[in-house]
Amino acid sequence: MFSDESRFCWITGSKCREDRENAMLIKVVLITGCSSGIGLRIAVMLAEDEKQRYHVIATMRDLKRKDNLVKAAGDLYSKTLFVAELDVCSDESVKQCINSIKDRHIDILSNNAGIGLVGPVESIPMDEMNNVFETNFYGSVRLIKEVMPDMKNRRAGRIIVISSVMGLQGVAFNEVYAASKFALEGFCEGLAAQLLSFNVTLSMLEPGPVHTEFELKMIQGMKEKEWPSVDPDTVNYFRNFYLPGAVDIFEILGQTPDHIAKVTSNPHFHNLTNPLYSPILALKYADETGCLSVQAFYCMLFTLRPLMNVGMPVLKYLTFGFMRKWRISPN
């Protein structure tokens, strides 16, 4: 499917010179985690390119979940957008997918596949923690290792990694997820400098909350969950302080997957997609001891929670309508 020579003009003779020249401009894009959310919107956005510059290979672990992607792609499905099976947690699956592409040639890799994990850390089994790291960190590393040698050999390529604002600032009750994203940030910061020598660029997107069905379901599910191994105070803090605040933040400050997708068109190395988080990160770097940001998060979560309840509706009003677009949209 991915070596369709007639589609990409990779044959000579019967194809006109113009077609062959246009084929050289087509970029092969491999995107992971495309069954929903950010990955789906990135895939469709590139497939909809008016100049048809992209051959999009949208991958997901379970092809039974491709219906939303196929519907969103419409007539572009099997024209500029193709779907393939890929499990980022499997070496064999990654190799099979890459090997199915003509000459293993990938111009752009977008690492989007990821999972979340929320809750009191003492209640989370180690296998669940390992699963988060296997998907969020090792999954991205596995794909980068597979495509990087060819990009370096060609002295051309772009790698985009969907990280998180939690890869820059840890958040209570998201410790494991944040740790997986911190690992990803460190890995990419080290690798980016090396890849510049080969004309390969690496970028990270660091979104805050995103309006996706997955994230809201995850938070809602936590409200009903029991925590028998956790002390009552921690359960109270999580259930009655953290969760209500998280829901408010998602509803008020959350971006859409389309907002995030647009940033991939011309990304820097770091891309904090929501500028409303800049002051929070500034606290971290304003005090080299780290005490300022820790105390600030403590106050926001515990001692200032009543004030936050009042402030959130005000912030919602300020970010409503055109002001919301102006302050939150990456453009």
Q: Is 55 annotated as a binding residue?
A: yes
Q: Is 57 annotated as a binding residue?
A: yes
Q: How far apart are CA 31 and CA 56, in angstroms?
A: 8
Q: Is 20 annotated as a binding residue?
A: no
Q: Is 34 annotated as a binding residue?
A: yes
Q: Is 105 annotated as a binding residue?
A: no
Q: Extract the tokens encoding 13.
A: 């003779």
Q: Is 40 annotated as a binding residue?
A: yes
Q: Extract the tokens encoding 331.
A: 């453009």
Q: Is 157 annotated as a binding residue?
A: no
Q: How far apart are CA 322 and CA 165, in angstroms?
A: 24
* Residues annotated catalytic, as ranges: 177
Q: Which residues pair with 27 in a beta bridge?
A: 54
Q: Is 44 annotated as a binding residue?
A: yes
Amino acid (one-letter) located at 26? I
Q: Is 58 annotated as a binding residue?
A: yes
Q: Which residues pair with 210 in a beta bridge?
A: 255
Q: Is 245 annotated as a binding residue?
A: no
Beta strands across the sheet bearing 81-85: 81-85, 54-60, 27-31, 108-111, 157-162, 200-205, 270-271
Amino acid (one-letter) located at 103? D
Contact 56, 46 (CB under 8 A): yes
Q: Which residues are annotated as a binding site for NADP(+)?
A: 33-61, 87, 181
Q: Which residues are annotated as a binding site for substrate?
A: 164
Q: Which residues are annotated as a binding site?
A: 33-61, 87, 164, 181
